[in-house]
């Protein structure tokens, strides 16, 4: 039997892509969609999928309650949507970014009869890049991270770059000191991240989301690079999570744990 799935934010950039990915997977069945801006419209028109239901304006109006809801909206909306999932025993696969530690603690208290995955990055390649960088860290004395994003990204460095460097710093505390004594242009050496690993944030028209971790030791360097070219890069991770969430109790942050199953 396919896992029944609904999508919060079904008319959005990510949500509509998720609707198509779910509809295309034979182990999943798209049965519900919520988006206030598209309430009452056929899902076929909103997301370009071949399914015969209308988008609901809010979860309370759904005719069918799915086993799993995928959430890609905005922070305020997501908090309410997750409260509904927890109260109705629906598993939540969450891509919306920006939750605080207090949010996560509250979710841990409320998700008692269903599970919740909060994954700030659903690109499986990006998850593996972080894991490989953590694995490599103890074998090198110098490392820097370059992250590249589209020119509409307003925050820097990216959450993925920060998480990568946190994991590398936790895996090794044996990093060579920065030799720079003179910085002619302020910030030329990038940001001083955890473990004093430098992070360089590049904003470039034409790019989507890219990262390169460069590690160096005597006579050799290792570069670990990941590129997301469009939103489809996140879909294998979302689909995997929808299939596996029933086996991961409670609230899990990050897709990493799901790759080991």
Catalytic residues: 149, 153
Report the nearest approach of ligand NAP to the CB of residue 183 (Å). Answer: 32
Strands 251-253 and 116-118, sheet pairing: parallel
Choose between 72 and 140: whose C-beta lies nearer to ligand NAP. 72
120/193 with CB nearer ligand NAP:
120
Give the C-alpha distances (Å, rounded to integers) separating 61 from 33, 39, 64, 91.
10, 10, 9, 18
- Of 97 and 156, which has the nearer Cβ to ligand NAP? 97
Q: Is the peptide bond before 156 cis (omega within 30 degrees of 0)?
A: no
CB of 178 to ligand NAP, least distance (A): 32
| Residues contributing to the site for ligand NAP (CB under 6 A) | 8-9, 11-15, 34-37, 72-74, 77, 81, 95-97, 119-122, 234
**Is 195 within 8 Å of 175 (Cβ atoms)?**
yes
Query: Would you give the distance in Å from CA 155 to the centre of its chain?
Result: 16
> Smallest gap, in angstroms, from Cβ of residue 54 to ligand NAP?
14
For the CB of residue 185, give the shortest distance to ligand NAP in the complex, in Å: 31
Question: Is the CB of residue 252 less than 8 Å from the CB of residue 115?
Answer: yes
Residue nearest to ligand NAP (CB): 12
* Spatial contact of 242 and 22, defined as CB atoms under 8 Å apart: yes
Give the residue with the Cβ less far from ligand NAP, 128 or 222: 128
């Amino acid at each position: 039997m396919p896992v029944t799935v609904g999508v919060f934010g079904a008319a959005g950039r990510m949500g509509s892509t998720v609707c198509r990915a779910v509809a295309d997977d034979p182990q999943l069945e798209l049965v519900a969609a919520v988006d206030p801006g598209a309430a009452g419209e056929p899902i076929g028109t909103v997301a370009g999928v071949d399914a015969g239901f209308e988008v609901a304006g809010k979860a309370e109006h759904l005719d069918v309650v799915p086993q799993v809801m995928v959430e890609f909206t905005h922070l305020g909306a997501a908090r309410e949507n997750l409260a509904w999932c927890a109260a109705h025993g629906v598993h939540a696969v969450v891509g919306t970014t920006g939750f605080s530690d207090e949010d996560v603690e509250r979710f841990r208290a409320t998700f008692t009869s269903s599970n919740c995955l909060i994954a700030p990055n659903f690109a499986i390649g990006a998850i593996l890049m972080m894991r490989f960088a953590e694995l490599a860290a103890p074998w090198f004395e110098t490392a820097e991270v370059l992250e590249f994003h589209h020119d509409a990204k307003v925050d820097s460095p990216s959450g993925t770059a920060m998480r990568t460097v946190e994991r590398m710093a936790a895996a090794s505390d044996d990093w060579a000191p920065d030799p720079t004594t003179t910085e002619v242009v302020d910030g030329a050496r990038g940001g001083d991240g955890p473990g004093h690993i430098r992070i360089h944030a590049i904003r470039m028209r034409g790019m989507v989301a890219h990262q390169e971790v460069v590690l160096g030791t005597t006579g050799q360097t290792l570069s670990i690079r990941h590129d997301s070219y469009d939103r489809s890069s996140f879909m294998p991770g979302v689909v995997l999570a929808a299939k596996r969430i029933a086996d991961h109790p409670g609230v899990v942050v990050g897709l990493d744990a799901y790759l080991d199953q």
